[in-house]
Amino acid sequence: MSFKKTYNNFLVWKAKNVKEKQMVLFVSFLIGVLTALAAYILKSLIHIIQNILTSPFLTEGANYMYLIYPAIGILIAGLYVKYIVKDDISHGVTKILYAISQRKSFIKLHNVYTSIVASSITIGFGGSVGAEAPIVLTGSAIGSNLGRFFKVEQKYLMLLIGCGAAGAIAGIFKAPIAGLVFVVEVLMLDLTTFTVLPLLVTSVTAATLSYLTMGQASMFEYAHAEDFTLNRIPYVILLGIFCGLVSLYFTRAMNWFENQFRKLSYWQKFAIGATLLSILIFLLPPLYGEGYDTINALISGSTEHSSLLDNSVFFPLKDYRWSIILFLSGVLLMKVFASSATNGAGGTGGIFAPSLFLGCIAGFIFAFTLNHLGLKGYLPLLPEENFALMGMAGVMAGVMHAPLTGTFLIAELTGGYELLLPLMIVSICSYLVMKFFEPHSIYSMRLAKKGELITHQKDKAVLTLMDIQKLIETNFQTVHPDMTLGDMVKVISRSSRNAFPVLDDKGRFLGVVMMDNIRNIMFRPELYNRFKISRVMTSAPATIVVGMTMEKIMRQFDETKAWNLPVVDENDVYLGFISKSNILDVYREVLAENFVEE
């Protein structure tokens, strides 16, 4: 029996015997299994490549292969994407948001594996980015394509994409709660009593399998220095503000750098980005790869922080007390350039790891500086490991606009649940500072500017999912300004509408003739040749331009109190009308099709 026939028989059996919600739960379990497997493959590939390349490195002094490896990795990954994938696989989380809002939750099948290949090469060879955004895109692609394979209803596909993202986070970090919260905060999916269950099934399944394949130890070796005391709350708040400013610096610098790279050709991007990245990694080796070794060194309780200067040209300065702070400050400032250069030059990676990396360094610098200012009688001694941990939550919360994700991810990553309260304080303070300057996260700001961002406000979310092209009605009879009233009466006899758009010879919209405006003269034949359309036409109350957001279109209707408004392109060429009643009908359809109600 052929696969196609077997598959069709399965679909018939499924329709008769399996309820839709039961199928969603089954698919969510499969997503958990596959995302955990994908996370294991990605992490293993990165570690294998890094170990092969860096194990021969010397500790005392510079390693000149840092100037070569990153460029080779970016070249291979970039050529793979350009000539084999032939699709843009960067900005993984942004692509997921776009797929949810504009592509009916469709993510291409190749995203199941292409991000794994490209990001493992990029990061393994030293690209200064993270593996988490690529694996989130992979997980969401798994969810989208499994949902379509099992012919799940459209309104559940968005949920299954969320399951894929949750499973990816839970799988790669062993953090099931963070996976669930990430979907709510970053992907902005609404939760109901039912939708929570598939997300939990996927997250728990992925985390469990990750524990089986990667061991039960926490991802980072955190040494709990001492219990949190209330007298440190002012310093925790200050750290949160500092993390918010670091998040702002990272976000704006990253966007500026990306805008500069967009102006360049492919090989110009590679030459400039690879050169910049290689030089930065040669001078500051902690910028190599994800930077998780640096995080472990700062939160593990080791007092030998100067070991971070190993493998670098600054090795001779490691015995100076302030050398570590100056060195890490350079790393803090340069990380954004290294990450931007990696992606801009053709590499593939995300900002999860850079956010954790920057936060850890920011928290350590904050505590170390206050501890060594010589003010022991005035300031309490701050545990540097704890503050480095809190900094990780703070910068992640700021960059991603996700305070709960930052809090629970760091707690689950390190087992640092004793610091849950200060983690929340830092995350909230950082988020509020960042929110003051940037209303949208680094993931969502591009879509928000275009009006394509799904939000937790269901009315706005439904409007975002509506397609303006499908709302345009074209069954209006058009007229010209030089036509007579007699010609107009003939047009009226062929029309079922009471509005008649007036166009010039180039099809541009000039105005509209309303039936009510000519009703008192249209039955007087003696006036047919005396009145021209230009005399009886009026301006439209407002004009809709293709590309306007649905939210703005609805505002036009509310302000004008109109029931029909004309639609034109950017050159004022008439395309049709949009009616409020049609919008309301489509609104109800989109709501029923895309949102799971309890």
> Residue 306 has which token pair?
């100067």
**How far is CA 473 from its chain centroid?**
34
Tell me what the mean pLDDT of segment 112-141 comes to.
Answer: 89
Separation between Cα atoms, residue 166 and residue 151, nearest integer Å: 21
Angle 86-90-94 (CA atoms, 0-180°, nearest 5)? 125
> Residue 78 has which token pair?
């970039």
Q: Cβ neighbours of residue 294 under 8 Å, at least 6 residues apart?
A: 286, 308, 331, 357, 360, 361
Contact indicator for 472, 466 with CB cutoff of 8 Å = no
Separation between Cα atoms, residue 247 and residue 394, nearest integer Å: 8
Position 380 pLDDT exceeds 60: yes
Q: Tokens 């500069």 — which residue?
A: 260
Q: Which of 16-30, 86-100, 536-550 has the lowest mean pLDDT?
A: 86-100
Q: What is the pLDDT of residue 6?
A: 81
Contact indicator for 37, 49 with CB cutoff of 8 Å = no
Position 484 pLDDT exceeds 90: no
**Predicted structure pTM score:** 0.78
- Give the total residue count for the chain: 598
DSSP conformation class of 510 = E
> By percentage, how much of the chain surpasses pLDDT 70?
83
What φ, ψ does residue 479 adopt, rounded to 5°? -135, 170
3-state secondary structure of 86: coil
Position 564 pLDDT exceeds 60: yes
Separation between Cα atoms, residue 456 and residue 185, nearest integer Å: 9
DSSP state string for 432-500: HHHHHH-SS-TTTHHHHHHT----SSHHHHHHHH--HHHH-B--PPPB-TT-BHHHHHHHHHH-SSSEE
Position 245 pLDDT exceeds 90: yes
Position 593 pLDDT exceeds 60: no
Contact indicator for 394, 355 with CB cutoff of 8 Å = no
Encode 532-566 in three state secondary structure. Answer: EHHHHCECCCCCEECCCCHHHHHHHHHHHCCCEEE
pLDDT band at 335 (very low <50, low <70, confident <90, very high): very high
To the question of domain 3-214 being in CATH 1.10.3080.10, the answer is yes
Position 395 pLDDT exceeds 90: yes
To the question of domain 230-453 being in CATH 3.30.465.10, the answer is no
Pick from 368, 371, 274: nearest CA to 329: 368
User: Torsion-angle region of residue 504: left (phi > 0), alpha (psi -120 to 50) or beta?
Assistant: beta
Separation between Cα atoms, residue 444 and residue 185, nearest integer Å: 11
pLDDT band at 383 (very low <50, low <70, confident <90, very high): confident
* Beta-strand runs (E) in 1-152: none
Does this chain's domain 230-453 share its CATH topology with 461-594? no
Separation between Cα atoms, residue 70 and residue 281, nearest integer Å: 8
Measuring CA to CA, how many Å separate 257 from each of 224, 227, 363, 412?
38, 41, 25, 32
Q: What is the pLDDT of residue 338?
A: 92
Q: Which of 20-24, 175-179, 442-446 has the lowest mean pLDDT?
A: 442-446
What residues are paired with 538 via a beta bridge? 512
Taking only Cα atoms into account, the Rg of the chain, rounded to an integer number of angstroms, comes to 29
Burial class (CB in 10 A: 0-12, 13-18, 19+), 231: exposed
* Beta-strand runs (E) in 297-456: none
Contact indicator for 401, 434 with CB cutoff of 8 Å = yes
Task: Dump pLDDT digits (tens) for 409-425.
Answer: 888 877 767 788 889 99
* Mean pLDDT for the chain overall: 81
Other Cβ atoms less than 10 A from the Cβ of 41: the count is 17
pLDDT band at 41 (very low <50, low <70, confident <90, very high): very high
Separation between Cα atoms, residue 310 and residue 288, nearest integer Å: 13
Tell me what the mean pLDDT of segment 154-181 comes to.
Answer: 87
Separation between Cα atoms, residue 92 and residue 290, nearest integer Å: 17
Q: What is the pLDDT of residue 193?
A: 72
Q: Which of 243-247, 415-419, 512-516 has the lowest mean pLDDT?
A: 415-419
**CATH placement of domain 461-594:** 3.10.580.10
Listed by start position, the domains of the chain span: 3-214, 230-453, 461-594
Task: Dump pLDDT digits (tens) for 279-289.
Answer: 998 888 888 88
Other Cβ atoms less than 10 A from the Cβ of 493: the count is 8
